[in-house]
Amino acid sequence: MKKFVAVLSTTVLTLTLLSGCGQAAGQPKPETTKPAAGGNEAAKPEAEKNDVLAQFPAVKIPYTNDPNAVLAEYKGGKLVEKDFETFLRTINFLNPQQGASLQFADSAAIKDYVRQYTGTKILFDRADDTMKAAAMKQAEERFESYKKQYVERLDKKEENFTKMLEQQGLTKDDLLKQMQLIDSSIGVLEKGIDENALKQAYEKADKTQYTTASVRHILISTESRKPEEAKKLADDLLARLKKGEDFAKLAKEYTDDPGSKESGGLYENANVNDWVPEFKKAALTQPINQISDPPVKTDYGYHIIRVEKREVQPFEKAKEQMKQQELNKAYGNFISVELDKLVTKWNIPEVKPAAAK
């Protein structure tokens, strides 16, 4: 809920939101969140289960407010409720999972969103016409990418996509303007990043920060079975692999990791820092094409791991990752230090406890 709006760049989000993939078992576990409203699938009305639009519902704002209420006044402008709600609806379109969580947002989370969106609007006002035009062109291209994904999920019918936008209270113009605003604000921050300074930082850095690996693994989970049962099954599979059985085939049959099951247990060219410590250590140190013996234990269970490739990204590849880190820092500093000097009045909506139930 506290992810910076600037880092909600459509650059990051494009083509990642509708895949339906779960959390990868090698990655840190997310915080537990409440499920989206709707309950058990079997308990849903038959009409809803058959309605393809039901899988992408409108965002539920966890409070009520006058559409013309002013949430923030700042030097040169203001943020009103109806514009803020359009932004929340846009989040729901760009990232349905995050949109579903908005109905459970408390006052602190809404405050974060208001502050971040206000900061993004201020940064947008600092963008020049060339930057805004480039951001709009990018927004139009991304809109078409999203539309293609949604149409595929909506029975391949474009009219269903049109109905979905209406259901979500959005227009194409709304979405283009919001994506342009976000990307323009990022462009303003990028102007302050010195590429020479990034290169110097890269030369001095611990190169594990920029190491990628292609790792194939089989997870035997301890969440669905006793630890000793998981260990025995992992050892049995390890023995079969040593005898020459196909790793990918066994992974598809036995792994408990939904994020890599269909790829035969493979995570390809992934940043090793995305994985939990034990998995990361194996990815960094295990000899190429050798199978972990014994299996690697993590909080998820036992992993049989084979590292198929490992490399340190050269600066030209690592540069974008470094820029993203600098953008995080720059935006965080802007929100925490500069924003309150520019805003003359806040009027954050209050979320009543009963509304979050």
Whether pLDDT at 44 is above 80: no
Please report, in angstroms and rounded to a whole number, the separation of the first and last CA atoms in the chain.
Answer: 17
Is residue 76 domain-shared with residue 170, that is, in the same domain? Answer: yes
> What order do you get walking across the sheet with 301-312 strand by strand?
266-271, 211-221, 301-312, 296-298
Q: Are 176 and 139 in contact (CB under 8 A)?
A: yes
DSSP 269: E
Is residue 136 domain-shared with residue 33, that is, in the same domain? Answer: yes
Pairing of strands 301-312, 343-346: unpaired
Closest CA to 170 of 263, 32, 57, 284: 57
Residue type present at position 308 = E
Is residue 179 domain-shared with residue 54, that is, in the same domain? Answer: yes
| Listed range (182-196, 224-238, 301-315) with the worst mean pLDDT | 182-196
Asked if residue 203 is part of any domain, the answer here is no
Is residue 177 domain-shared with residue 57, that is, in the same domain? Answer: yes
Residue 354: pLDDT band with limits 50, 70, 90: low
DSSP 214: E
Is residue 111 domain-shared with residue 254, that is, in the same domain? Answer: no
Q: Which residue has the tokens 């323009």?
A: 184
Asked if residue 198 is part of any domain, the answer here is no
Range of the domain at 340: 5-191+321-356
Sign of CA dihedral 234, 237, 242, 245: negative
Residue 50: pLDDT band with limits 50, 70, 90: low
List pLDDT tens digits, range 219-250. 999 998 999 999 999 999 999 999 999 999 99
Residue 328: pLDDT band with limits 50, 70, 90: confident
Instruction: Name the domain count of the chain.
Output: 2
pTM: 0.69
Whether pLDDT at 214 is above 70: yes
Is residue 107 domain-shared with residue 144, that is, in the same domain? Answer: yes
329 φ/ψ angles, rounded to the nearest 5 degrees: -65, -45
Neighbours of 272 (CB within 10 A): 22
Helix boundaries (H) for the chain: 10-13, 46-50, 81-94, 96-101, 107-126, 129-153, 158-167, 172-190, 195-204, 227-242, 247-254, 277-285, 315-333, 339-342
In degrees, to the nearest 5, what angle opens at C-alpha 253 toward C-alphas 247 and 259? 85
Is residue 117 domain-shared with residue 34, that is, in the same domain? Answer: yes
Which SS3 state, helix, strand or coil, does residue 279 take? Answer: helix
CATH code (residue 242): 3.10.50.40
CA distance 335 to 116: 7
In percent, how much of the chain has pLDDT > 90? 73
For residues 295 and 24, the model is more confident at: 295
Whether pLDDT at 51 is above 50: yes
Which neighbouring-strand residues pair with 16? Answer: none
Whether pLDDT at 23 is above 70: no
Asked if residue 153 is part of any domain, the answer here is yes
